[in-house]
Amino acid sequence: MERRLDPAVHGRGAQSGAAPQRFGLAEREADGDWRDWMERLDGPPIKLRTTVTEERPKTILTFNQSPDIGFDRSVNAYRGCEHGCIYCFARPTHAYHDLSPGLDFETKLFAKPNAAELLRLTLARPKYRPRPIAMGTNTDPYQPIEGRYRITRQLLEVCLEARHPVTITTKSDRVVRDLDLLAELARHRLVAVAISVTSLDPHLSRLLEPRASTPAKRLAALGKLVAAGVPAHCSAAPVIPAITDEFMEEIVTQAAALGVRSAGWIPLRLPFEVAPLFREWLAVHFPDRGDKVMAIVRSIRGGRDNDPNFHSRMRPSGVWAELFRARFRLACKRAGLTRQRFDLDCSQFRVPETGAQLRLL
């Protein structure tokens, strides 16, 4: 198996900063100025710096009517994600800001310091009706900058105060830093946490998800959640044909050994600009099998790189898809795992205090 150990861009998932293809931002053309000569003489920058822009939106909850996902509202503390997962389906959202879904997505981040305040005000509205809030559906709530901003923790504090149910999806073991809040939320049946484990090979993980926690740390975090009584789900996601599918069975086995009782898998999705970025990544790291990987991806997506249609986008078809589905089902059966539905309790909801309102009881 041939692997290129010296990627074009060290420590990042994307290998380029290609401009968005849908919103009219053209790539800079060489015109002979000093920047062109700088790169010719010195080469591209050796290390890209991560920058964080603070923004203060007016709303924090995003509502959806998608028929094939299990939540109707979500909150994202950050935009962009330093984890740099090359396959991340959220990358195209950076194009809305005329930023690259490639390197910009993982180096030019946005934080929302007033997110908890906005959530509190939203939950206090007279017409608000509670249903589980999903966190981590777009960008990871426990990416590295959470260690500095603690926005996710503040959001969880509001949820606990309001007795509002919340679900979390992450690729980081930083989630256990909030184990005190999560355990208390779990005691009231208000939380469930899913941790995505893509492979068990730390080298492969470093190429796929350069700044996410190692597979071993993610599995350990699942064990700590289970030990604390927090409903935990292991997600083998995404399954990348001929790259990560070999790990499906062992991921299930190790998760079950830690006491996890729920597991699922999600196939690779390559919407919009993600497909060319992923192809570029394959050319750098797996030139020996890139064509095979994409051939299988197209075979489960109706002959295209991506299927954007409701229902089918989450349920691939074809021989390869049925093979992966059968393998995962058999692994779960052997390990005694199911894909549990965590029924969170909305009946305990209480309006949180705001600056103008104090609780009487």
Residue 165: its pLDDT value, please?
98
The Cα 187–Cα 48 span in angstroms is 43
For residue 147, give the amino acid letter: G
DSSP 20: P
Q: Where are the domains of the chain?
A: 40-335
CB-count burial class (<10 Å; 0-12, 13-18, 19+) for 297 = buried
For residue 305, give the amino acid letter: D
The SS3 of residue 161 is helix
- Which of 131, 129, 118, 116 shows the shortest CA–CA distance to 69? 131
> Domain 40-335 has what CATH class?
alpha beta
Residue 77: its pLDDT value, please?
97
The SS3 of residue 110 is strand
Residue 13: its pLDDT value, please?
83
With contact defined as beta carbons under 8 Å apart, do 72 and 131 qualify?
Answer: yes
The Cα 256–Cα 235 span in angstroms is 12
Give kind and range of the element (H or E) at residue 337: none
Which residue is listed with tokens 């960008």? 139
The Cα 291–Cα 201 span in angstroms is 22
What are residue 63's DSSP bridge partners? 73
Residues in CB range of 5: below 8 A, 6 or more apart: none
Whether a cis peptide bond, with omega within 30° of 0, leads into 202 is no
Q: What is the mean pLDDT of each run of 10 residues along the chain (361 residues)?
A: 50 74 51 49 65 96 90 97 96 91 96 98 97 96 98 98 98 98 98 98 97 97 98 97 98 98 95 95 96 98 93 90 97 91 95 69 46
- Tokens read off for 118: 């906005």
Residue 280: its pLDDT value, please?
96
The Cα 185–Cα 135 span in angstroms is 14
DSSP of 212-248: SPPHHHHHHHHHHHHHTT--EEEEEEEE-TTTTGGGH
With contact defined as beta carbons under 8 Å apart, do 212 and 171 qualify?
Answer: yes
With contact defined as beta carbons under 8 Å apart, do 262 and 337 qualify?
Answer: yes
Residue 312: its pLDDT value, please?
87
